[in-house]
Chain A
């Protein structure tokens, strides 16, 4: 192959590579049951500093992606808070991730629904992208080893949490 042809082929490959890279960084695939949960570090919704799932290693964590503008999120928030009151402790917590939302609106939502579990802020949707979510709300149950054990792309209610999530959790609260 001549030098000129090699340069042309390299140019075409570079353009194709750019397109593929662009597509890959745009779209994420949903994590599946058994996959390690992404350890994306996100800022806390209130107060300073960042947090990631790694800080919850050793606990069961129900990661709940939500947004204040999302109607189903408003419906499931009381159920999640009640579940946290019943089961939250050193062995389990709900972890809220306010995604593609305004900080002020997210904080207002937390106050309005009296949510006591930890909340992270995912303004640009990077955390949601890492989990491969397609909307809000979405819920992922992560085991103490950091693997996804159950997921639901949609809202939960009290009955669903009792039937689907509670069986995974240790009997003792803390």
Chain B
């Protein structure tokens, strides 16, 4: 009985220790960094990734991100704040709603259409080549033609 209790206590201690270790790791994983965020957002004035931009507006945007990082905001919160300031076009990846959705849907639809077209084409080609396979070979020349052919072949026989 006491063995079972001690096992349970040990198990709980292990779980608590794991949770204690996991918390800082998770926090570190969620911590925002300017290097990561500037790869995912745009400089709205330059029309390039913020990472590549050095314009005065880009400098202000980077400083804004730094301030939010210093305030302990997560990456998602910082991106939300950027969207609130500059609109959705500040995000480097298209949104999954409205017209921007077409950036995701059109390639998928185009791929599916191409795949279906290829499959149908392959099916038709197989049918066409399969239909000619079982037919008997064409009959040879008959009557006078056969005699003339034999005579010609005999003349050129080496």
Contacts and interface: CB of A to CB of B under 8 A. Distances in A.
A102 B63 CA distance: 11
Interface string A59-74: 0000000011111000
B60 A124 contact: no
A42 B18 CA distance: 51
B114 to A, nearest CB: 11
B33 interface: no
Given A21-B99, A69-B60, A15 B106 contact: yes
A25 interface: yes
Chain B facing A: main interface SS: helix
A69 B45 CA distance: 11
Contacts of A46: none
A125 interface: yes
Contacts of B60: 68-69, 101-102, 105
Nearest to A7: B113
B64 interface: yes
Contacts, number: 40
Interface residues of B, number: 19
A124 B87 contact: yes
A18 interface: yes
Interface string B31-53: 00000000000001100000000
Nearest to B56: A69
Contact of A126 (B45, B59, B87, B113): B87
Given A18-B106, A69-B57, A124 B86 contact: yes
Contacts of A123: 84-87
Contacts of A22: 99
Interface residues of A, number: 20
A83 B77 CA distance: 41
Contacts of A170: none
B70 to A, nearest CB: 15
B75 interface: no
Nearest to B88: A124
B120 to A, nearest CB: 10
A100 B102 contact: no
B57 A100 contact: yes
Interface of A: 11, 15, 18, 21-22, 25, 67-71, 100-103, 105, 123-126
8 contacts: A69-B56, A69-B57, A71-B56, A101-B57, A123-B86, A124-B44, A124-B88, A126-B87
Given A102-B85, A123-B85, 9 more contacts: A18-B106, A69-B57, A69-B60, A100-B44, A100-B57, A101-B60, A124-B88, A124-B89, A125-B44
